[in-house]
A and B are shown apart, each in its own frame.
Chain A
Amino acid sequence: MSDINNKYVSFQDVQKTYDGEILVVKGFNLDIGKGEFVTMLGPSGSGKTTCLMMLAGFETPTQGEIFINGTAVNRIAPHKRNIGMMFQNYALFPHMTIAENLAYPLQVRRMGRSEVEEKVKRALDMVELGGFESRRPKQLSGGQQQRVALARALVFEPSLVLMDEPLGALDKQLREQMQYEIKHIHARLGVTVVYVTHDQSEALTMSDRIAVFNNGVVQQLDTPQGLYEKPVNSFVADFIGENNVLHGKIESEENGICSLNVNGEKIKATAVTQAPAGTQVMMSIRPERVVLGSHHEGIDNSFVGSVKECIYHGDHIRVRVSLLGQDQFILKLPNSAATGGVSVGDSVQVAWSSGDARALDIVEY
Chain B
Amino acid sequence: MSTSVPTADNMQVNDPQLKGKLKKAERFLKIRALLLVAPLVLFVLFTFVFPLTEMLYRSIHNPILVDNMPQAAALIREWGQVELPGEDIFSEVGKALVIAREQKTIGRIGNRLNSEHSGMRSLTTKSARKLGKYTGDDYKTYMLGLDKRWGEMETWSAFKVLSSEYTMTHYLAAFDMQYNAKGEIVPQPEDRQIYIDMLLKTLKLSLMVTVFCVILGYPLAYLLSVLPSSKSNLLMILVLLPFWTSLLVRTSAWIVMLQSKGVVNSLLLYLGIISEPLDMMYNQIGTVVAMTHILLPFLILPTYSVMKSISPVYMHAARSLGATPAHAFIKVYFPQSLPGLSAGAILVFILSIGYYITPALVGGRTGQMISNLIAYHMQTSLNWGLGAALAGSLLIVVLVLYGIYNRLVGASQLKLG
Contact = CB atoms under 8 A, between A and B. Distances in A.
A106 to B, nearest CB: 9
B204 interface: no
A306 B362 CA distance: 92
Interface stretch (B129-137, B212-220, B282-290, B318-326): B318-326
A77 B328 CA distance: 13
A79 B324 contact: yes
A84 B320 contact: yes
Chain B interface, >50% SS class: helix
Nearest to A92: B317
Contacts of A67: none
Interface residues of B, number: 19
A78 interface: yes
B316 A82 contact: no
A105 B316 CA distance: 13
Given A104-B331, A108-B327, A91 B322 contact: no
Contacts of A83: 320
Contacts of B327: 108
A162 B327 CA distance: 22
B311 interface: yes
B335 interface: yes
A249 interface: no
Contact of B320 (A85, A89, A94): A85
A80 B328 CA distance: 13
A109 interface: yes
A87 interface: yes
Given A104-B331, A108-B327, A93 B314 contact: yes
Given A95-B335, A108-B327, A156 B316 contact: no
Given A58-B316, A89-B311, A91-B311, A82 B322 contact: yes
Nearest to B413: A95
Contacts of A78: 316, 319-320
A203 to B, nearest CB: 22
A156 B320 contact: no
Contacts of B320: 56, 78-79, 81, 83-85, 153, 162
Interface string B311-351: 10110111111111101100110011000000000000000
B336 A108 contact: no
Interface in A90-136: 91, 93-95, 104-105, 108-109
Contacts of A332: none
A84 B335 CA distance: 23
A105 B313 contact: no
A152 interface: yes
A83 B318 CA distance: 11
A87 B313 contact: yes
Given A104-B331, A108-B327, A91 B319 contact: no
Given A93-B332, A95-B336, A104-B331, A87 B324 contact: no
Given A104-B331, A108-B327, A152 B321 contact: yes
A340 to B, nearest CB: 23
Interface in A45-85: 56-58, 77-85
Nearest to B335: A95
Contact of A85 (B316, B331, B335): B316
A81 B322 CA distance: 8
Given A89-B311, A95-B335, A104-B331, A58 B319 contact: yes
B277 to A, nearest CB: 49
Give the residue among B317, B332, B335 with the most A Cβ atoms within 10 A: B317
Nearest to B314: A91
Nearest to B317: A91
Interface string B206-245: 0000000000000000000000000000000000000000
A127 B74 CA distance: 81
Contacts of A104: 318, 321, 323, 331
A105 B322 contact: yes
B313 A91 contact: yes
B323 A79 contact: yes
B59 to A, nearest CB: 43
A158 B331 CA distance: 22
Contact of A79 (B313, B319, B332): B319
A254 to B, nearest CB: 54
Contacts of B313: 87-89, 91
B319 A94 contact: no
A158 to B, nearest CB: 9
B311 A108 contact: no
A162 B320 CA distance: 10
Chain B CB count within 10 A is highest, among A58, A78, A82, for: A78
Contacts of B321: 79, 84-85, 104-105, 108, 152, 156
Nearest to B332: A93
15 contacts: A56-B316, A58-B319, A77-B319, A79-B321, A79-B328, A84-B320, A85-B316, A85-B317, A91-B313, A91-B316, A93-B332, A93-B336, A104-B323, A108-B327, A156-B321
Given A77-B319, A85-B320, 14 more contacts: A78-B320, A79-B320, A79-B321, A79-B323, A79-B328, A81-B320, A87-B313, A91-B311, A104-B323, A108-B321, A108-B323, A153-B320, A156-B321, A162-B320
The 8 closest A-B CB pairs, nearest first, are A105-B321, A85-B320, A91-B317, A78-B319, A95-B335, A91-B313, A108-B323, A108-B322
